[in-house]
Amino acid sequence: MITSLLISILLALLLVLSVLYWQKLEETSEQHDPVEDDRVRPLLRGLNYLLSDEPDKALDEVVKVAKLRSEATEVYMFLGEMFRNKGEYGRAVRIHQNILARPHVSNDLFIQAQLALATDFHVGGLIDRAVRHYHKVLDVQSDHRIALQSLLRIHEQSGDWKTAIEFLQRLERLDGLQDHHHAYLLAELAQASLEAGAIALATEQAQEARDLNASCVHAHQVAIISGLQSHDDAMVLLHLEVMADATPEMLFLLLPVLLDTDYDTYTPVLWRYWVAHRNLDLALTWLEYIACHQGQENADHWCKKLGFNSETLRDSLRLAALFSPDDELRSHAIRWREQLKHYQCHHCGVQIEALRWQCPQCQQWGTMRSVRQEL
């Protein structure tokens, strides 16, 4: 069912076209132009269809008018955008395809319509077609920022990190700088190499990412895991020190893999970091690890040894899930723990359960932080 808003816009469009037609007719009143008759027929039919409550047929006639009258282009593009925003992607596609089907389309109009068509397919989920039309925009204007940004996002979402980096580099050349975004894409590439068993390549890519941005936590994480897998303790300790200096608040992410690999070697290292930084997430993650692997008695011993004091209700409930003698309270705390949002984007504020290096809402990289505020 076409909404009243759509009918109103169609009517406004037809009225605009009518005004344009009559203005031109007045300018050439002394001449009879049969071509103008051909142009006005679909306009009149469209008005009749709209008045007869047949908006679909009215839209078909609007398409014909727009093919013939260049003055209708801006209004016609607006109509296509409105359809897309309403989720009627097929209608939006038809409108933009018909603009491209007109003879003698200028470069500016070609870019505008191709970009609109690419966006129609993109938001409609037809990614392959969207990519094809974004590339058609770049074929005409190689530095078109919106097309480059859209292709970058598509390749990020598909995990094609090499291609994503290529498009990011093109955008960086436009701006004349590199930022943390590039470092995080390199870290994702390093993570993929690590998962494929290419440890040396993963180490190299992680190093490149850290060279771009020393605070890229993911790059540090990949480098340390690469060192653990290659049994290079010296490299692991070196990068742990760098990470402790750059981002001590994220050290807790590495605690489980360090202790799983070599408990005796890395326990003193973690103790040193705890004394230096007193990071509560590190202590809580450590206690949870010990409770899971060595039992609650050992976890209670380490809680006293660490001198841990909870500062928020969130921390208190995490401890209750481990140590509460009240079975009901402990059960509630455990269920709460399973549903807890652990990370928050400092850019847009969205909270999520499992860590992601790119915010799922604002798409920014490296903005997720462990939640520390009081509940």
Q: Give me the number of domains the chain comprises.
A: 2
pLDDT of 6 > 90? The answer is no
- pLDDT tens digits for range 120-146: 999 999 999 999 999 999 999 999 999
Task: Please name which of 252, 261, 251 lies closest in space to residue 226, comparing C-alpha atoms.
Answer: 261
Q: Is residue 375 part of a domain?
A: yes
Angle of helix 313-323 relative to helix 296-306, nearest 10 degrees, comes to 140
If you search the block for the tokens 């992601």, which residue do you land on?
A: 356
- pLDDT tens digits for range 270-318: 999 999 888 888 888 898 899 888 988 898 899 889 887 777 777 877 7
Tokens for 93, please give them. 């596609």
Q: Is residue 75 part of a domain?
A: no
Angle of helix 107-123 relative to helix 89-100, nearest 10 degrees, comes to 160
Question: Would you state the torsion angle of the CA atoms of residues 157, 160, 165, 168, taken in this order, to the nearest 10 degrees?
Answer: -30
Which pLDDT band holds residue 26 (cuts at 50, 70, 90)? very low
Domain limits at 224? Answer: 184-210+217-246
For residues 236-258, average pLDDT: 87
Q: Is residue 352 part of a domain?
A: yes
pLDDT at res. 104: 80
**DSSP string covering 331-354, please?**
HHHHHHHHH---EEETTT--EESS
Tokens for 190, please give them. 């390093």
Q: Is residue 350 part of a domain?
A: yes
Give the whole-angstrom CA distance, residue 335 versus residue 340: 9
pTM of the model: 0.75
Q: Is residue 226 part of a domain?
A: yes
Q: Is residue 237 part of a domain?
A: yes
Which pLDDT band holds residue 95 (cuts at 50, 70, 90)? confident
- pLDDT tens digits for range 328-371: 777 777 777 767 777 888 888 888 888 888 888 888 888 888 77
pLDDT at res. 48: 62
Q: Is residue 192 part of a domain?
A: yes
Q: Is residue 59 part of a domain?
A: no
| Least confident span in 21-30, 102-111, 269-278, 309-318 | 21-30
